[in-house]
Amino acid sequence: MTSRRPLDKGADEEALRLRRLWEEHVHRPFPGTGDDPRLQEVALYSSWLGSIVEVALLKGALDPNHAEMLKTRRAEGNQVLFRAGGELGEPVRSYVARLITIEDLLAQLPVR
């Protein structure tokens, strides 16, 4: 479910970019099928990130608990995702790149 609350009134450019990119993301199919652990890692990350994005779009900010989770995740790095995108090729590579961009936009939102 994608939030429909308008962010336009005083929303930061990052929040508006996040909304546009998230809308694009949720309307594209997942780029793979099967039981490949690399695809499962990408799907898990997408689901986890999506749960944070949905709340952030509703609030217009990042929840403090989600901010801490995101900080921890970013400190751990995204090597597994980068490797999966590289090894699985297109369209997984583009999907992963979009997820990383969404993560970057989330990290720029205010925390409240």
Q: How far is CA 1 from the centre of its chain?
A: 14
Per-residue pLDDT for 24 more than 70? yes
Return the domain boundaries, the chain: 13-108
Q: Determine the pLDDT at residue 14.
A: 83
Q: Determine the pLDDT at residue 11.
A: 58
Q: What is the mean pLDDT of the chain?
A: 89
| Amino acid symbol at 70 | L
- Global pTM reads 0.86
pLDDT digits (tens, 9 = 90+) for 25-62: 999 999 988 889 999 999 999 999 999 999 999 998 99
